[in-house]
């Protein structure tokens, strides 16, 4: 029998224990349900897209798009950097590629492109420079982390997009270039567009230096 004067102490300890158990269970559930780049990669590797019938193929592609869209920012960058979906993308038809790119682009990116094209040339240049810089920084972090696991990977990540693609964006204009591009090129351009949208949403291009 608990001595009456110790009862509040015991009840407090039990309450703390209960809170700890609930928090631990909640954290475990959140960790297990949280979408990651590794889970996306495992999903791609678990299914041979080329062997699926049309109805299951469409469902699988939709499922992959949903998983990519559920990724948090850093995990989405990682999935792009590691090209987690690239194996499937290479097996898609042109129509499937186009639909997949549209499904996995951020909400409102077309409106962002319109707003971007309305900026003065110097601010458009600054926004693209900021986007590429942020992408390079993110890739460097990811590459450094990968190199810790496997030193053979090195610490010099490839550029976010090829110099040729960057030059064409700056010459033709981003919106016009995107509308004229193939699904393959749009997929290669996707990381830049996503980063540009974050830069635009930050309001930096609309402020003075």
What range does the domain containing 12 cover?
Answer: 4-33
The predicted pLDDT at position 97 comes to: 94
Q: Are residues 152 and 199 in the same domain?
A: yes
Q: Are residues 29 and 39 in the same domain?
A: no
Question: Which is more confidently placed, 157 or 201?
Answer: 201
Q: Are residues 58 and 118 in the same domain?
A: no
If pLDDT is split at 50, 70 and 90, which confidence band does 157 have? low
Average pLDDT in the 174-188 region? 89
The predicted pLDDT at position 27 comes to: 47
Question: How far apart, in whole angstroms, are the C-alpha atoms of residue 104 and residue 101?
Answer: 5
What's the whole-model pTM score?
0.72
pLDDT exceeds cutoff 80 at 35: yes
Q: Are residues 21 and 53 in the same domain?
A: no
Q: Are residues 135 and 77 in the same domain?
A: no
Please write the tens of the pLDDT for every residue from 57-93. Answer: 999 999 999 999 999 988 988 888 888 888 899 899 9
Number of domains the chain is built from: 3
The predicted pLDDT at position 144 comes to: 75
Q: Are residues 100 and 45 in the same domain?
A: yes
Q: Which of 88, 83, 68, 65 is nearest to 158 (CA)?
A: 83
Q: Are residues 110 and 99 in the same domain?
A: no
Q: Are residues 110 and 183 in the same domain?
A: yes
Question: How far apart, in whole angstroms, are the C-alpha atoms of residue 3 and residue 7?
Answer: 6
Q: Are residues 156 and 208 in the same domain?
A: yes
Please write the tens of the pLDDT for every residue from 1-16. Answer: 556 666 666 667 777 7
Q: Are residues 118 and 206 in the same domain?
A: yes
Q: Are residues 114 and 166 in the same domain?
A: yes
Question: How far apart, in whole angstroms, are the C-alpha atoms of residue 112 and residue 196?
Answer: 9
State what percent of residues in the chain have pLDDT above 90: 33
The predicted pLDDT at position 57 comes to: 94
The predicted pLDDT at position 156 comes to: 59
Question: How far apart, in whole angstroms, are the C-alpha atoms of residue 206 and residue 209?
Answer: 10
Q: Are residues 123 and 137 in the same domain?
A: yes
In the predicted model, what is the mean pLDDT of the chain? Answer: 82
The CA distances from residue 204 to 129, 139, 169, 197, 208, in Å, are: 12, 22, 20, 11, 8
């Amino acid at each position: 029998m608990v001595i009456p004067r110790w009862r509040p102490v015991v009840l407090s300890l039990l309450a703390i224990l209960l809170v700890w158990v609930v928090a631990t269970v909640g954290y475990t559930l959140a960790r297990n349900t949280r979408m990651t780049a590794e889970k996306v990669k495992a999903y791609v590797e678990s299914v041979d897209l080329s062997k699926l019938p049309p109805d299951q193929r469409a469902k699988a592609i939709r499922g992959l798009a949903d998983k990519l869209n559920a990724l948090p920012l850093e995990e989405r960058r990682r999935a792009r950097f590691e090209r987690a979906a690239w194996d499937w993308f290479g097996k898609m038809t042109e129509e499937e590629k186009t639909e997949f790119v549209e499904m996995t682009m951020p909400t409102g990116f077309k409106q962002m492109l319109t707003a971007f094209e309305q900026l003065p040339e110097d601010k458009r240049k600054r926004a693209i420079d900021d986007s590429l810089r942020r992408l390079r920084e993110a890739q460097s972090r990811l590459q450094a982390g990968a190199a810790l696991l496997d030193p053979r990977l090195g610490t010099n990540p490839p550029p976010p997009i090829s110099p040729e693609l960057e030059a064409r964006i700056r010459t033709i204009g981003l919106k016009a270039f995107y509308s004229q591009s193939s699904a393959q090129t749009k997929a290669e351009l996707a990381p830049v567009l996503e980063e540009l949208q974050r830069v635009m949403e930050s309001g930096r291009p609309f402020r003075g230096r």
